A and B are shown apart, each in its own frame.
Chain A
Amino acid sequence: MATAATNNRFPSATAETAPEAVVVRFAGDSGDGMQLTGGQFTLSTALAGNDLATFPDFPAEIRAPQGTLFGVSAFQINFGSTDITTAGDAPDILIAMNPAALKMNVHDLKPGGLVIADSGEFTERNLAKAKFDANPLEDGYLSRWQVLSFDISALTLESVKPFGLGNKEALRCKNMWTLGLALWLFDRSRQPIVDWLKAKFAKNPVLADANIAALNAGHAYGETAELSVPVKQLHVAPAVHPEGLYRTITGAESISLGLVAGAQLAGLPMFFGGYPITPASAILHHLTRLKEYGVTTFQAEDEIAAIAAAIGASYAGQLGVTSSSGPGIALKTEAMGLAIMTELPLVIVNSQRGGPSTGLPTKTEQSDLYQAVYGRNGDSPLAVIAARSPADAFDCAIEACRIATQYMVPVILLTDGYIANAAEPWRVPDMASYAPFPVQFLETVPEGGLKAYARDEKLARPWIKPGTPGLMHRIGGIEKEVNTGHINYAPANHQAMTEIRRDKVLGIAKGIRQEVALGNESGKLAVVGWGSTFGPIHQAVRRVRAKGHDVAHIHVRHIWPLPENLGDLLKGYDKILVPEMNTGQFKTVLRDQYLVDARPLNKISGQPFRIAEIEAAIEGMLT
């Protein structure tokens, strides 16, 4: 059944060549369950102690027409015994469930890499849909790679026969069969998947059993040397991590948990207003299950209502939070101005995606930085922070809650589609190590009477909950009078209030120091990044440093205001390179703020940077 590979360049794992890291990509029809397969493989990989990073890449259509090129869904995982910070450049192994998946992905595969294909899907019809004139499994199309092909569809049907499923349902178990094979290939435990299947299909034990049977059959297929090529089991040694308890986490999960933690550290119930949008909805889904943590979630009628309700909840004394992606954030803009004017705490999470307009809903981009920092009418400053990875997003969410409540100001937390969907191991934090920042509401009339826009040392105004006796007052979007908060249109007052709002936000930078992620605090070249480009920048800088070059990696979390020492730090380097998944937005901010010659490296393809791309740019700047 299996087709012999044409060559043997794929590194068979021997004691000498045991790989440090392996990149595997699962690709199939968007209905084939590739994201599920990838997710479960991720879980078993994490449990095996490997460091890992994943990159789900799926089409915007929920069920694109079967077998077509645009309906291909892929999930890539990079795992290994070294510190993994990216989902990997080129896969070592491609699992292709149909001709379209093969066509869309095989050219990314490393030369000599392994293709595992379901020959049962390489029918004339599917070949035509994928625009193949001949069967690529047979005509030498794959001569650069090693190929294993067998009829996974037939093998799956056979394995689930005892359960009496219909043909369609039985074929749905294909992804579990494939997963079983992959688990065998990398010496992974099946037990977590078995437990997960039992829980998932608790109400339908037959489906659970069928899926488990398919999983076991795939595993057994690898084990019983039916394969006519010498694929040997690959064992990737566990990565060395700091001590502690670990789990895997996606960005959407860690932001949700971080928001809950942030609200608890502030001593506040949390109100989350959301409206469904890709890829931000997952945060709403997570939070709605955490009601016992004082979380109220509200699926509003639109993006504007979601933020408006969050502002209303903040006004009433809860921590208002809203979340969306670029187009939804655009709709929320006017309401952000209201929160700035009324000086209420608010956290706005933007899971960035490719734009403009509807753009690329399921692809990643960092192109909303201008929107976050500058994108409102009037002089309307707010704080902006950016998460660099799924694990980092937890701390960023807490930081957003801290700034919002301590400074009475809206905070935009930038993440992106890549972080939201990607998973990585996360050292479970010790919550006792986070300093609480409890909110003090104004509850009694201060000496000299109530001044709703009085200022503390951080320039924050008092937070007064409706229901408090003696402190009734009115606020709104019309310009406020300094101190009293009454309506005031006077020229000098507007000048003063605009400056206070600006200075309050700039004051957030006090005590926020920029560290160097890798390298020296001055030198030939600083590669400055923000957000989800952390992984590829870090690896690229590491590689170039290994070649003996004086390069540093600086990764900025506080986008606005910028850390207090960033300007001085940057001036210590001869050159500055700013890789971004946009046309150079952060580069412009850095140039504007510090008059430094920051050079852009831009990628706007909806795909994360490859390490090699950044490496080449660094080397180009060093010569």
Chain B
Amino acid sequence: MNDMTTIAKTRVETTVKDWETDQEVRWCPGCGDYAILKAVQRTLAEVGADPKNTAFVSGIGCSSRFPYYIESYGFHTIHGRAPAVATGVKLANPELDVWIITGDGDALSIGGNHTMHVLRRNLDCQILLFNNEIYGLTKGQYSPTSREGTRSPSTPFGSVDRPAKPCAFALGSGARFVGRGFDVSKNLPDVLKAAYAHQGAAFVEIFQNCIVYNKDVFNDFAAPKGAEDRQLWLKDGEPMLFGSDKTGGVKGLKLNLDHLHLEVVDVADGDWQAAGVLVHDVKNRAVAHMLIEMPFGEFPMALGVLYDDPRPSFEQAVVAQNAQLSAGKTPDLQKLVAKGETWTVSGGAQTDAAEAGSAGSGPAL
């Protein structure tokens, strides 16, 4: 999947059980986080990740408790700053597999700046943004991804501001991998595996059901009933098809060349080519933008790997420059402290080490 991978990671055989800690999981019963935790643990076992070389770094929020439940190294940091802490971790030890666990408030409100810059720099890491469109841990205030009109303790008359779109934000910040899934989807581990395989910052938005403060807010596309009509699972090199003959017909996405936007077309008798359906190319950034921006309802929800086009990562560039500028130089602290213009004082009189001495050589006054 990723032809730019240069560091061959040694595969370590583990089971899902090996990734479970002895800590009691403290999310609300029925929370979507449980399903995501299982999906991540399954992914880690399947990709052959090494627990001792894995570091989970999180911010603050319900999702950010995640590191306590993964048997690896983990750092539960402060609100919004996980990408910055993770940057230090990865620069200090590029061998580590770094996962950033964050939420919609953590990543896009208080930590928006760090999210932008970790993506722009392209630090090699996986960023899992659990989007439940609400502040859960602080008891239900609307969040930067809440839909307009969301009623919450802080917006009892409905929110009036427009929500941020996590994947659009990521792509706009320069992300080279953008994926999307939802908590209970059986396809989520596949998206996570692709993110893991991607060298550089891999951004995955995971729609997560907060059963206490924002219950079933994603049901319009995540509910099992009618899912095939409302979910477009993208696969590289395959046509963008959804729906089925049983539910009102197979449909596909076509690029309207006159107006340069996507449109839904009917596919008759499986002949998607005749219908002009687009083939998904994970390296096509422009189409990725369109897929992310499609208004749900008129269009299905685009899920899976929306964009995956690796570039050299930040920590590799830092390591390379450090190595290049250190090459051939022997660090010598004694020399370093004595650098520049120096002079020697001996026995109270002075001689000028660097220059022909000017001291004491002036004309008699």
Binding site for B on A (CB under 8 A): 13-15, 18, 43-44, 46-50, 187-189, 191-192, 232-235, 237-238, 240-248, 257, 260-261, 264, 269, 271, 273, 290-294, 296, 298, 300-302, 304-306, 308-318, 320, 334-335, 337-338, 342, 394, 427-432, 465-478, 486-487
Contacts and interface: CB of A to CB of B under 8 A. Distances in A.
Interface in B312-365: 318, 321-322, 325-326, 329-331, 333-334, 336-350, 352-365
11 contacts: A189-B356, A271-B92, A300-B87, A302-B113, A305-B117, A308-B88, A310-B88, A314-B88, A335-B81, A472-B51, A476-B77
Contacts of B246: none
A260 B87 CA distance: 21
A207 to B, nearest CB: 22
A318 to B, nearest CB: 4
B160 interface: no
Nearest to A305: B84
Contacts of A312: 57, 75, 84-92
A315 B74 contact: no
B259 interface: no
Contacts of B353: 245
A465 B88 contact: no
Given A48-B359, A257-B337, A472-B51, A246 B75 contact: no
Given A244-B345, A304-B114, A467-B96, 15 more contacts: A48-B358, A187-B361, A189-B357, A243-B345, A247-B342, A271-B92, A292-B329, A296-B91, A301-B117, A302-B113, A305-B113, A312-B75, A465-B93, A466-B53, A472-B51
A21 B322 CA distance: 45
A338 B77 contact: yes
A245 B338 contact: yes
A343 to B, nearest CB: 13
Nearest to B80: A304
B61 interface: no
Shortest 9 CB-CB contacts between residues of A and residues of B: A312-B88, A476-B76, A187-B362, A309-B88, A189-B358, A308-B84, A316-B92, A474-B74, A305-B84
B326 A291 contact: yes
Contacts of A300: 84, 87, 117
B133 interface: no
Interface stretch (B30-38, B64-72, B144-152, B249-257): B64-72
Contacts of B330: 292
A261 B325 contact: no
A260 B331 CA distance: 11
Contact of A233 (B84, B88, B331, B363): B363
Contacts of B107: none
A393 to B, nearest CB: 13
Contacts of A315: 75, 85, 88-89, 92
A296 B359 contact: no
* Residue with the greatest number of chain A CB neighbours at <10 A, chosen from B321, B341, B353, B361: B341
A478 B76 contact: yes
Contact of A474 (B75, B325, B359): B75
Given A315-B88, A334-B78, A338-B78, A47 B352 contact: yes
B338 A248 contact: no
* Residue with the greatest number of chain A CB neighbours at <10 A, chosen from B75, B84, B325, B343: B84
Interface string B260-283: 000000000000000000000000
Contact of B358 (A188, A271, A273, A473): A188
Nearest to B81: A308
A407 to B, nearest CB: 20
Given A247-B341, A309-B87, A335-B81, A472 B52 contact: yes
Contacts of A310: 88
B333 A241 contact: no
Nearest to B82: A308
Given A47-B358, A431-B333, A248 B88 contact: no
B75 A192 contact: no
B365 A13 contact: yes
Given A235-B362, A240-B348, A316-B93, A291 B325 contact: yes
B336 A246 contact: no
A470 B52 contact: yes
Contact of B342 (A246, A308, A466, A467): A246
Contact of A261 (B73, B114, B333): B333
Interface of B: 21, 23, 51-53, 55, 57, 60, 67-68, 71-78, 81, 83-93, 95-96, 113-114, 116-117, 318, 321-322, 325-326, 329-331, 333-334, 336-350, 352-365
Contacts of B364: 15
A474 B67 contact: yes
Nearest to A242: B345
A292 B354 CA distance: 25
Nearest to B323: A291
B76 A290 contact: no
Given A189-B356, A243-B346, A474 B89 contact: no
Contact of A292 (B75, B331, B347): B331
Contact of B365 (A188, A232, A306): A232
Given A261-B333, A467-B96, A476 B67 contact: yes
B362 A292 contact: no
* Residue with the greatest number of chain A CB neighbours at <10 A, chosen from B75, B92, B329: B92
Given A192-B355, A301-B114, A466 B91 contact: no
B114 A305 contact: yes
Contacts of B357: 49, 189
B88 A46 contact: no
Contacts of A237: 360
B93 A317 contact: yes
B88 A245 contact: no
B158 to A, nearest CB: 32
B179 to A, nearest CB: 24
Contacts of A301: 84, 113-114, 116-117
B342 A313 contact: no
B37 to A, nearest CB: 14
B71 A472 contact: yes
A394 B337 CA distance: 10
B88 A468 contact: no
A320 to B, nearest CB: 7
A270 B330 CA distance: 17
B345 A233 contact: no
Contacts of A187: 358, 361-363
B68 A487 contact: yes
* Residue with the greatest number of chain A CB neighbours at <10 A, chosen from B83, B321, B336, B338: B336
A291 B326 CA distance: 6
A429 B57 CA distance: 41
Contacts of A243: 345-348
A316 B96 contact: yes
A605 B353 CA distance: 40
A581 to B, nearest CB: 29
Contacts of B75: 312, 315, 342, 474-476
B326 A269 contact: no
Nearest to B348: A240
Given A191-B356, A476-B75, A269 B92 contact: yes
A246 B325 contact: no
Contact of A311 (B88, B343, B349): B88
A234 B365 contact: yes
Given A269-B92, A309-B88, A312-B85, A296 B358 contact: no
* Residue with the greatest number of chain B CB neighbours at <10 A, chosen from A233, A294, A428: A428
Contacts of A290: 336
Given A310-B88, A316-B89, A296 B117 contact: no
B114 A46 contact: no
A300 B326 CA distance: 22
Contacts of A337: 78
